[in-house]
Chains A and B, each alone.
Chain A
């Protein structure tokens, strides 16, 4: 599909009110700048058209791979980055600053497909799949959610049966990012003993199909679909040997949610930057609207929340680097940052007046996108329950 190339200049600048840049290395700053330049060049000119058409710009997958945006924390030996978690966070921030749908595509590829293959896969599986996923030759997807099991994945119905030379896979997955275009899927299913296992399912296997979910009002530039398994014979060597139980998929989610905390911050910064510039230019009652106290209140609160979120991300990144970040700490960051991003997007939308509902500005797109981000990878309330369980030692899920 052809996309219209807008010639509108993307002049995004990120706020750094607490000089958090001083906490970053020169290399981190170069990574952030390079990804920002890449997004301005490749994504900003087409993203509005892609979102309006609800079409996934599939040609970007190879470009993302070439840029090194997939699995940056996975060792270089497997064709990936070998970078740290701050670098990964900054990349996700910049990509989502462009669009949450493309960040979702990159998060799924890196954290939900490459990560489990690296973490739970055999050396043969790593060498077979990781370089192709890192380069963008392959696009992957992650199948956990089912039509009847979203927040409660432990209840999943998808099943594998050991048939001697292969596993027989039956069931279906719902709301799967990248599914319609994916070359491979990391699928979670229960074995005869009811243990959750991970498998690599390849496009082309008989009985495997990926129907697209249409008419989304959110993440329109990302493709979402179902995974349907009708007596799919999965070779035994496609089972991830080290994944056993719900801990397998949850480990992947920790890594992806960490990226989302940074990504949502990127979307928030884009809304703030656009609102600030618009408020200074837009004249009403003979003055820039930025001169009114109510407008200043909105901008001041946005900057306050962005600054807090930046500090959360940075600290969490340092904990990740030290191997010390806990699931509950990641929940706090994901929940908070997506929440403030949604609020900032709503306020920014109002500051843009009528213009705020058009594709002339990125706000409405971010706003709609963030409605998915607040739901997937653990809903806003589920993360609250994770925190609640952490504080009290009492699980309130059931």
Chain B
């Protein structure tokens, strides 16, 4: 089985967010980068599937050279090789185009992604890639087993879960508890030294230009209104918060 896992290089969840160049660029100074947590689930499941069924796991990132630290970690966790599309990925469509282009050159049985990135959180790249390749895409997948050429999955839906089956090839957006995150061990880290990491140039160009970033307004303090003063609460919602 050939599996492609698409990973993002994203700021750690505890990173302090600020902008530079007149609020047009994210300030990367002092920011620690990690592999997107949902992408980590996808990778962990891919490595497990490889252990069960044999095959290969290729990691793909659309990003600049600084992503390579995270890519090495993915190789240390158990991916066999990696591809980096050398570009600043400016929007979801552009990223999807790159992934589809790479995927169309090989016959991957599975293309695993995270349910969403944790910087832009659009949750659309898997759908776009599925459309571009003309194969089904599903998300968010929380359970995945492969039986012959068929994927048996559990998907989270509004208010519940659904069990679905689909035949390969597929694009999936993954989330917990599809697998447990894997921590690379020293043997993995050593073997990652010599695993191939291919850098390729992008096709097309991104269409989005960022005019301005802004931080969300800071959250106000919580006001506690005792249950017996419901009128006061309604008054505040009407006249102060202006939501009623």
Residues of A within 8 A of B (CB): 13, 26-27, 29-31, 33-34, 37-38, 41, 66-69, 72, 76, 81-83, 87
Contact = CB atoms under 8 A, between A and B. Distances in A.
A81 B183 contact: no
The 8 nearest A-B residue pairs measured at CB: A68-B186, A37-B183, A68-B185, A67-B185, A81-B186, A34-B184, A38-B183, A26-B69
Contacts of B73: 30, 33-34
Interface string B60-77: 000000001100110010
B190 interface: yes
Contacts of B76: 30, 34
B189 interface: yes
Given A76-B190, A81-B190, A82-B190, A30 B69 contact: yes
Contacts of A82: 190
Given A29-B69, A30-B73, A34-B189, 14 more contacts: A13-B14, A26-B68, A30-B72, A30-B184, A30-B189, A33-B73, A34-B186, A37-B183, A67-B186, A68-B185, A68-B186, A81-B186, A81-B190, A87-B186
Contacts of B187: 68, 81
Contacts of A87: 186
B193 interface: yes
17 contacts: A27-B72, A30-B73, A30-B76, A30-B189, A31-B186, A34-B76, A34-B183, A34-B186, A34-B189, A41-B183, A67-B183, A67-B186, A68-B187, A69-B186, A76-B190, A81-B190, A82-B190
A30 B193 CA distance: 12
Contacts of A13: 14
A130 to B, nearest CB: 15
A83 B183 contact: no
Interface in B39-76: 68-69, 72-73, 76
A83 B187 CA distance: 10
B183 A72 contact: no
B122 to A, nearest CB: 27
Interface residues of B, number: 14
B189 A31 contact: yes
Nearest to B187: A68
A279 B238 CA distance: 40
Nearest to B34: A33
A83 B192 CA distance: 13
Contacts of B185: 34, 66-68
Contacts of B184: 30, 34
A18 B75 CA distance: 30
Interface string B146-186: 00000000000000000000000000000000000001111
Contacts of A38: 183
Interface string B72-114: 1100100000000000000000000000000000000000000
Contacts of B68: 26
A72 B193 contact: no
Contact of B72 (A26, A41, A69): A26
Interface string B1-39: 000000000000010000000000000000000000000
B50 to A, nearest CB: 18
Contacts of B183: 34, 37-38, 41, 67
B33 to A, nearest CB: 11
Contacts of A72: 186
A31 B187 CA distance: 11
A87 B72 CA distance: 16
A68 B68 CA distance: 23
Nearest to A68: B186
A281 to B, nearest CB: 16
A26 B193 CA distance: 11
B51 to A, nearest CB: 15
B66 to A, nearest CB: 11
A82 B69 CA distance: 21
Nearest to B68: A26
B34 to A, nearest CB: 9
B15 to A, nearest CB: 12
B193 A27 contact: yes
Contacts of A83: 186, 190
A27 B189 contact: yes
B83 to A, nearest CB: 19
A178 B72 CA distance: 35
Contacts of B190: 76, 81-83
A373 B76 CA distance: 33
Contacts of A41: 183
Nearest to A19: B30
A386 B72 CA distance: 43
Nearest to A42: B183
B107 to A, nearest CB: 32
B64 to A, nearest CB: 15
Contacts of B69: 26, 29-30
B224 to A, nearest CB: 19
Interface string B121-156: 000000000000000000000000000000000000
A372 B73 CA distance: 36
Nearest to B193: A27
A26 B190 CA distance: 12
Query: Which of B68, B186, B190 gathers most chain A CB within 10 Å?
Result: B186
A91 to B, nearest CB: 8
A391 to B, nearest CB: 38
Nearest to B69: A26
